[in-house]
Amino acid sequence: MIYSYYPGCSLHGSAKEYNHSTKAVCEKLGVELRELPDWICCGASSGHSLNKILEIVLPAQNLKIAEKIGHDLVVPCAACYNRLKVAKNELREKEEIRKQIKDLINFDFQNNIEILNLIELIKNRIGLETIRSKVVKPLKGLKVACYYGCLLVRPPTIMDFDNPEHPMSLDEIMRVIGAEPINWSFKTECCGGSLSLSRDDIVKSLVGNIIRMAEEAGAHIIVTLCPLCMENLDIRQPNYNFPILYLTELLALAFNLKESENFITKHIVNPLPVLESLELL
């Protein structure tokens, strides 16, 4: 299986461990990820809130490259995934936008590729049974709070891959690798997003709520797919020491990949004590 791969700025910077673990896991699963040549920023956070056309043209440029190559596009970052899906939707629905984009970047929208987040890639393309067959070390006893964040499932009409209020797809993947997804109410709560730079008081209170709820529900760790959520949850948790990991890092642990030590040690909150106490390392 060959897919185009859009890492986005985060996976080349603050979320390197996400990039590494995604590549390692995909290699193990026989999925070849080919990074898009000359990809640019998707414009998430600041671009799309300031300029209506920049909002489309930035992701559209990446879409243009991906359409030319022709493979479906895998996007691990929830924010990039959201921007690309929104842009694709606008291009599909609006004649006027198509024309504008054609004028700006000479892109003839073909609608010939799918945009996939990692849950979609794993559940719908690779299949849960394949995942199960690759598990060497089931994450037995690990209670996981699946945190989807706000961007992955909303707006529901455009993202359209799971229930926007009570998503379950990540929980299913967790169950397959032997972990125990806990039932909690903050799966899609906002982490504060880019307010971490301007109003960290707000972010701290939001992150505090999320971590408190996960802890009360009995979780050992929180699992996420979004680098921005990771950053806020990992760095800005007030008075907690609650480990946060990416989906792919847990998969790598379950597959017992030796590269694991290269990335799970990169977090601010050290996940090793919890994992050691459950004998998962």
Partner 1 sequence: MKNIGVFICHCGINIAGTVDVKRLAEEVTEFDDVKMAIDYVYMCSDPGQNLIKEKIKEQELNKVIIACCSPSLHEVTFRNTVQSVGLNPYQCEIANIREQCSWVHADKQKATQKAKEIIAAVIEKIKLNESLSPIKVPVIKRALIIGGGVSGIHAALSIAYNGYEVVLVEREASIGGHMAELSETYLTQECSPCLLSSKIVEVQNHPLITILTNSEIEELDGYVGNFKVKIKTKATFVDQEKCDGCGICVEKCPVSIPWQSEEISGKTRAIYIPYPQTIGNKAVIDKKICKYFTEGCTKCKEACPKNAINFKQTDKIREEAVGSIIVATGYSLYPKEKLGEYGYGRYKDVIDGLQFERLISVWGQQNREIRRPSDGKIPREVVFIQCVGSRDPEHGVPYCSKICCMYVAKHAKLYKQAVPEGQAYIFYIDVRAGGKGYDEFVQNAIEEDGLYYIRGKVSKIFQENGKIIVWGVDTLAGRQIEIAADLVVLATAIIPSKGAKELANKLKISSDEYGFFSEVHPKLRPVESPTPGIYLAGCAQAPRDIPESVSHALGAASKVAGLFSEDLLSHEPIVVWVDEDLCKACGICVEVCPYKAREIDKWKKIAKVIEVLCQGCGACVTACPNSATQQRNLTSKQVFNMIDAAISIK
Q: Which residues bind partner 1 (CB under 8 A)?
A: 163-166, 185-186, 189, 213, 216
Query: Closest distance between partner 1 and the C-beta of residue 241, in Å?
Result: 21
Closest CB 94 distance from partner 1, rounded Å = 19
The residue among 20 and 143 lying less far from partner 1, judged by its C-beta, is 143
Smaller CB separation from partner 1, 16 or 154: 154
Least distance from C-beta 237 to partner 1, angstroms? 18
Residue 144 beta carbon to partner 1: minimum distance, rounded to whole angstroms: 18
Nearest Cα to Cα of residue 223 among 193, 256, 264, 259: 264
CB of 261 to partner 1, least distance (A): 37
Q: Say if strands 221-224 and 244-246 run parallel, antiparallel, or are unpaired.
A: parallel
- Nearer CB in complex with partner 1: 60/150: 150
Greatest Cα-to-Cα distance within the chain, rounded to the nearest angstrom: 58
Which helix H or strand E contains 203, and what residues bound it?
A: helix 200-216
Q: Which is nearer to partner 1, 160 or 216 (CB)?
A: 216
CA distance 114 to 96: 22
In this complex, which beta carbon is closest to partner 1, that of residue 214 or of residue 233? Answer: 214
The pair phi, psi for residue 196, each rounded to 5°, is -60, -25
Tokens for 137, please give them: 């070390």
Query: CB of residue 212 vs partner 1: minimum separation in angstroms?
Result: 9
Backbone CA torsion sign across 132, 137, 141, 145: negative
Smallest gap, in angstroms, from Cβ of residue 185 to partner 1? 3
Question: Which amino acid type is present at position 97?
Answer: I
Closest to partner 1 by CB, 94 or 166: 166
Our CB check for partner 1 shows the closer of 33 and 170 to be 170
Contact between 189 and 202 under an 8 Å Cβ cutoff? The reply is no
Burial class (CB in 10 A: 0-12, 13-18, 19+), 121: buried
Which residues pair with residue 35 across a beta bridge?
A: 5
Q: How far is the CB of 242 from partner 1 (least distance, A)?
A: 17
Of the pair 47, 164, the CB lying nearest partner 1 is at 164
Give 74's strand partners.
Answer: 5, 116
Angle at 116 between CA 110 and CA 118, to 5 degrees: 165
d(CA 232, CA 207): 7
Q: Which two tokens stand for residue 17?
A: 């461990």
